[in-house]
Chains A and B, each alone.
Chain A
Amino acid sequence: MSKTDLTDEQREHAQEEVRAIYAGAMNKLSHFGLAAMVILFLIYISGILPGKKAPEEIVPLLKEPASVFIEKTGLKTGWSWVYDLNYGDTLSFAAIAFIAAVSIFLFVILTPAFFKRKLNIYGWIAVVQFLVFVLAASGLVSGGH
């Protein structure tokens, strides 16, 4: 935020505008995600669109660590699920991923909104936050089980 460019009042007004944009988009995206999650889950468990793995195969393995679960079910980690969107369980998973991605989408909107209103420091913080989201979602951070 360039303090030389904006008065306190202008800065407050600019932040209110950005906040309103963010809140509106957050409301729409989160409602859409939650509705999609419930509908797609019902489609999966009702058998309308069968899953890659049936629920009766999944549930007994939930007491295993995630790594063992993945090994026993033959499911894959990372982003490989995007190739299986014709299965009910993967679609249900995709809806959960959408909810987890809502804040990432919001930062795509938020970042230019900050720069446009000369709130530059916050614009840069938003850029770094977006990169942190991308790093987390990429699955590139090594480690795990």
Chain B
Amino acid sequence: MIQKLVKTITCLPEMMRALPHSKPLYFLISGGLLIGASAIWGDPLDSGAIEAQTGKPWWFTPLMLFVFTFFLGIVAVAAGVGGGVLFVPIVASFFPIHIDFVRGAGLMVALAGALSAGPELLKRGLANLRLALPMALAASTSAIFGAKVGLALPASVVQIALGSAIIIIVFILLLAKKSEFPDVKKPDSLSELLSIRGVYHEDGKEHKWQTHRTIPGILLFIGIGFLAGMFGLGAGWANVPVLNLVLGAPLKIAVATSVFILSLTDTTAAWVYLTEGAIQPLVVVPSMAGMMLGTKIGVKVLAKSKPGMIKKVVITFLFLAGTRAILKGFGI
């Protein structure tokens, strides 16, 4: 199953072009998420939604978290979007759980996904250690400070900043271009020193690659790590464009290496949340279990759907969740 997941991750660009259209699935998933969210807590935009849970047994919240993240997992794989980036804004919007615990759980969800997919990506030579380690060191160091800042700020400020970040991510997802094989004519001196280059095989062909703009790449990863730690987001949405478009790694190498970098960045941020008491098993375990099961189902759904349509649903949801977070932050 993990092999299928890895294959799905690395082949998303092709799949998105090749798969057949499936309107019923689009409506099923989008409707399921909307109805599910409303059924759980009433109108999610109703400020009394949190109070509405009073009187429900304790297991209701973890169970609903499991069910909800299960669907999120399906959608995440099918849309080619990381679970963490979906989890934080949507759960923070729809569930009566403080954003501190949602961010802690979001990091663990993203970390579990990365640890599950990582071994296969490494074995296949797609995740590259020499490319990953310098970038991960920059991102994971700044993630500590991002996490500390995030936990120190008032929840309203975090909500507004998170909402704004999510709206920006929506535009990145909509507008970011990808390049299968960027043209890197000459590696820079740091890339040369670190020997950041490689070869991978696909369809019987050998693809040699090298990178450039190492310093700008490292600076961007410092920013990405800070945001990942502050908001508890998996950072695949930012890692991939930087690796692919700035450093010039081929798309498949960028996608796979991003997963590996994420496993290191989220480790440092997660430990800050752990030691600050912002990780609770009753939130984290159902979320991780639901997301991982959903991801496995999502791989199968992907074969029968048009990911482009699902991606539109996800982007719409992210936009709504981002807007909701901003409104929440302003107390509206």
Residues of A within 8 A of B (CB): 1, 3, 8, 11-12, 15-16, 18-20, 22-24, 26-27, 30, 33-34, 37-38, 41, 44-45, 54-56, 58-60, 62-67, 69-70, 75-79, 89, 92-93, 96-97, 99-104, 121-122, 125-126, 128-129, 132-133, 135-139, 141, 143-145
Residues of B within 8 A of A (CB): 50, 57-59, 61-62, 96-98, 100-101, 104, 108, 111-112, 115-116, 118-120, 122-123, 125, 127, 129-130, 133-134, 136-137, 140-141, 143-145, 148-149, 151-152, 155, 193-195, 198-199, 263-264, 267-272, 274-285, 288-289, 292
Given the known inter-chain contacts A38-B285, A145-B151, please indicate yes or no for A22 contacting B122, CB distance below 8 A: yes
Query: Which one of B152, B195, B277 lies within 8 Å of A70 (CB-CB)?
Result: B277
A3 to B268, CA, bound (A): 31
Query: Which one of B59, B123, B133, B195 lies within 8 Å of A20 (CB-CB)?
Result: B123
Query: Which one of B61, B199, B276 lies within 8 Å of A62 (CB-CB)?
Result: B61
Question: Could you show 25 A-B contacts with beta carbons less than 8 Å apart?
Answer: A8-B195, A11-B195, A20-B122, A23-B118, A30-B115, A33-B115, A34-B112, A37-B285, A38-B289, A54-B58, A55-B58, A65-B98, A66-B101, A96-B279, A99-B111, A102-B267, A103-B115, A129-B137, A129-B264, A133-B271, A136-B143, A139-B276, A144-B148, A144-B151, A144-B276
A54 to B168, CA, bound (A): 40
Contacts of A18 in B (CB 8 A): 129
Instruction: Beyond the given A19-B129, A100-B274, A129-B137, please list 16 additional residue pairs across the A-B interface where CB-CB is below 8 A.
Output: A26-B122, A33-B115, A62-B101, A78-B275, A92-B285, A96-B281, A100-B108, A121-B194, A129-B140, A132-B268, A138-B275, A143-B148, A143-B149, A144-B151, A144-B276, A145-B152
A46 to B259, CA, bound (A): 34
**Structural contact, A37 and B115, CB atoms closer than 8 A:** no
Given the known inter-chain contacts A66-B277, A133-B271, please indicate yes or no for A22 contacting B100, CB distance below 8 A: no
A20 to B125, CA, bound (A): 9
Query: Which one of A58, A63, A89, A141 lies within 8 Å of B96 (CB-CB)?
Result: A63
Given the known inter-chain contacts A1-B194, A38-B285, please indicate yes or no for A62 contacting B115, CB distance below 8 A: no
Q: CB-nearest residue of chain B relative to A76?
A: B277
Given the known inter-chain contacts A15-B129, A16-B125, A26-B115, please indicate yes or no for A144 contacting B271, CB distance below 8 A: no
A20 to B127, CA, bound (A): 11
Q: CB-nearest residue of chain A relative to B149?
A: A143
Contacts of B274 in A (CB 8 A): 96-97, 100, 137
**Structural contact, A1 and B144, CB atoms closer than 8 A:** no
**Structural contact, B281 and A41, CB atoms closer than 8 A:** yes
**Structural contact, A125 and B267, CB atoms closer than 8 A:** no
Ordered nearest first, which 4 A-B pairs have the shortest CB separation? Answer: A139-B275, A23-B122, A30-B115, A27-B119
A102 to B155, CA, bound (A): 30
Q: CB-nearest residue of chain A relative to B104?
A: A66
**Structural contact, B268 and A136, CB atoms closer than 8 A:** yes
A21 to B69, CA, bound (A): 32
A109 to B232, CA, bound (A): 27
**Structural contact, A122 and B130, CB atoms closer than 8 A:** yes
**Structural contact, A122 and B285, CB atoms closer than 8 A:** no
Contacts of B275 in A (CB 8 A): 77-79, 137-139
**Structural contact, A100 and B281, CB atoms closer than 8 A:** no
**Structural contact, A77 and B119, CB atoms closer than 8 A:** no
Contacts of A44 in B (CB 8 A): 281
A145 to B154, CA, bound (A): 9
A145 to B127, CA, bound (A): 37
Contacts of B276 in A (CB 8 A): 66, 77, 139, 144-145
Contacts of A141 in B (CB 8 A): 144-145, 148, 272
